Structure 1
Amino acid sequence: MTSTTELKNSIQMKLEQTGEYDRLKEHLRQKLIDCGWRDRLKEHTMELIRSKGDTTMTVEQLTQEIIPRGRGTVPDEIKQELLQRIRRFAEQQS
């Protein structure tokens, strides 16, 4: 295992152990709702279902189509804020 992977795993474990992971997840969820990301992704999903037919798409197929768009449309400000919070947490744990 590389030191980067070990560091990532260590931070992830500390985030989970301290409850910070759940706090970050809730913060991210609320930020995505507030900026309208969730509603836009939901509308995109409904358009996919309407265009392809809900009886022909499996949940797995729908998920495969939605995930790249969802990840790609998260506002950069939100990504940066989340990264800063994780960095601060990691520094405090050192």
Structure 2
Amino acid sequence: MTDRSTEIKNSLNQKLIETGEKERLKDMLRQRLTECGWRDELKEHAKDIVRQRGLKQITVDDLVKEITPQGRDLVPDTVKRELLAEIKKFLASQAQ
């Protein structure tokens, strides 16, 4: 990422935090992921990994590293599009 894009990303993140929009978006995302079964599916995947490796052979950090890529892949496109639309709507409201 270039310095300019990092600067823009940081500025957007700061604006989202200051306005409380970031928390609202996180709440919306949690709700949508629960509604579509994403949480349950990922929880089952985590349980399978623990069963395979054994509880004493895996750390929380190891588990997070292993399930994160699949967790991202399992997010439905509809949820991604909705989140992106909400961010765009926020940006448009800030530009006015």
- TM-score, normalization: structure 2? 0.93
The alignment status of 1:4 with 2:5, answered yes or no, reads yes
Relative to its length, the structure with more helix (as a share) is 2
Cross-structure match for 1:80: 81
The alignment yields a C-alpha RMSD, in angstroms, of 1.0
The Cα of 1:3 is off from its aligned counterpart by 2.5
**Runs of 5+ consecutive residues of structure 1 not aligned to the other structure:** none
The Cα of 1:4 is off from its aligned counterpart by 2.1
Identical positions, percent: 49
Cross-structure match for 1:27: 28
The Cα of 1:51 is off from its aligned counterpart by 0.9
Aligned pairs for 1:48-87 within 5 A: 48-87=49-88
In 1: Cα distance, 2:3 partner to 2:62 partner:
33
**Runs of 5+ consecutive residues of structure 2 not aligned to the other structure:** none
Moved over 4 A (4+): none
Amino acid at match of 1:12: N
In 1: Cα distance, 2:25 partner to 2:60 partner:
27
The alignment status of 1:36 with 2:37, answered yes or no, reads yes
Q: How many residues align?
A: 94
The alignment status of 1:46 with 2:47, answered yes or no, reads yes
